[in-house]
Amino acid sequence: MTVAEGAASALRVPVELEGRSYDILIGRRLLDDPAAWQGLPRASSVVVVTNDTVAPLYADAVEDALRRALERPVSRIVLPDGEDHKDWPTLQSIFDGLLGSGCDRRTLLVALGGGVVGDMAGFAAACFMRGVPFVQVPTTLLAQVDSSVGGKTAINHPLGKNMIGAFHQPVRVLADLDVLRTLPRREVAAGLAEVIKYGPIADAAFLDWIEAHVDDLVALDPAALAHAVRRSCEIKADVVAQDEREGGLRAILNFGHTFGHAIEAGLGFGEWLHGEAVGCGMVMAADLSVRLGRLDPAELPRLERLVARAGLPVRGPRLGAARYLELMRHDKKAEAGEIRFVVLDGLGRAQVQPAPDALLVSEVIDAHC
């Protein structure tokens, strides 16, 4: 797919997938630039799926650019904001809206919002008429560096997060850095956790760069953000291209998530943001890597300092080691009840491995909670 010249100043990261390749465009003032919307599949109509926080901020501009670029009818479906609404009734409301306005298999969906909207609109696109194209327009830092890329879509089930879903790749991702200016500070920090993650698992030089620029990132400096989003997307695109359906390698993207998931579930989802739990979880996973003799002990305080400088917690809640271990057995990486961890083999390399001795994991928990 070609990207129009007008959006030429945008950075372009390709995601190479046999027959389903697409571009991630990263830049400023992209949303209302009709050129950024050129070259998409021919659509009969366009539906923007967003939520009641993001809609008043950006939906008019996006729809205006879409009308000018695609010259097709554009309508809007507004979902209630929040992870609590990432569920069947809300998904059904998307289908109600699509069928009620006569959409067909050539309708293009546009997911405008954070990871919750992206995951839900993506899942709706995967199912509606057995699959329609969709564009991801991520408006949180977390969504720009992680959830909008790679085609994982899902809703939650009362028995587990993201348990009902599909792989369905977008046809384009438009990451407009300017929208991050309206994002609450806590959400910016949560997104930085996922940026930091890419250093230890795949690129030690990127970790050095983040250390040197973390204050610029917290201050939303456009040049620093552009580099961080681009390098994060490049690393994720590379991993996804090698292992789209998480047969193995893709699981390294969950560094820190086994401990983080236990924190989120143990406190009740929503108490800590996902990125906050991942930030703390990365420190714990790095400590586990040290205790396994795979990571230089000097790297642990370094990572801990960086996570703290990003505005993220580095000490987990005191749930008790037994409770942590019980919660981790429900992690999606667990196999037949056996917990699996992403551990570091030095900085810049990661692998998934079955749980080491429970005592070792308990020591990590006791040291950081």
Within 242-301, the residues that bind ligand NAD by CB under 6 A are 274
Instruction: List the single partner that 250 binds among ligand GLY, ligand NAD, none, CB under 5 to 8 Å by kind.
Output: ligand GLY
Does 114 bind ligand NAD (CB under 6 A)? Our answer is: yes
Give the C-alpha separation, 110 to 117, whole Å.
10
Q: Which of 63, 234, 244, 246 is catalytic?
A: 246
Which among 68, 33, 63, 70 has a CA at the least distance from the CA of 47? 63
In the complex, least distance from residue 8 CB atom to ligand GLY, rounded to whole angstroms: 29
Extract the tokens encoding 91: 């998904």
Of the candidate residues 146, 244, 287, 304, the single one contacting ligand GLY (CB under 6 A)? 146
Does 168 participate in catalysis according to the annotation?
no
Does 274 participate in catalysis according to the annotation?
yes
Label each residue of 190-230 as H, E or C: HHHHHHHHHHHHHCHHHHHHHHHHHHHHHCCCHHHHHHHHH
The Cα-based distances of 135 to 68, 151, 367 in angstroms read 17, 11, 43
Residues in the chain: 369
Q: Which residue lies nearest ligand NAD, judged by its C-beta?
A: 115
For every residue of 269-307, DSSP letters joined together read TTSS-HHHHHHHHHHHHHHHHHHTT-S-TTHHHHHHHHH
Q: Which residue lies nearest ligand GLY, judged by its C-beta?
A: 253
Of the candidate residues 97, 113, 133, 150, the single one contacting ligand GLY (CB under 6 A)? 150
* CB-nearer residue toward ligand GLY: 66 or 137: 137
Q: Which of 85, 197, 274, 340 is catalytic?
A: 274
* CB-nearer residue toward ligand GLY: 97 or 199: 199
Beta strand 22-27 with 172-176 is parallel
Of the candidate residues 25, 108, 143, 224, the single one contacting ligand NAD (CB under 6 A)? 143
Does 333 participate in catalysis according to the annotation?
no
Does 191 bind ligand GLY (CB under 6 A)? Our answer is: no
Within 237-276, the residues that bind ligand GLY by CB under 6 A are 250, 253-254
The Cα-based distances of 356 to 23, 149, 325 in angstroms read 40, 31, 12
H helix runs in the chain, sequence order: 60-70, 88-100, 115-127, 141-142, 185-202, 204-218, 222-242, 257-267, 274-291, 299-309, 321-328, 358-368
Give the C-alpha separation, 294 to 286, whole Å.
9
Within 5-64, the residues that bind ligand NAD by CB under 6 A are 51, 53-54, 57
Instruction: List the single partner that 242 binds among ligand GLY, ligand NAD, none, CB under 5 to 8 Å by kind.
Output: none
> Distance from CA of residue 238 to its chain's centroid?
15
Binding region for ligand GLY (CB under 6 A):
146, 150, 152, 250, 253-254
Q: Which residues form the catalytic set?
A: 130, 152, 194, 236, 246, 250, 254, 257, 261, 274
Chain residues that interact with ligand NAD, rule: CB under 6 A: 51, 53-54, 57, 81, 83, 86, 113-117, 119, 139-140, 142-143, 146-147, 150, 152, 161-162, 179, 182-183, 187, 190, 274
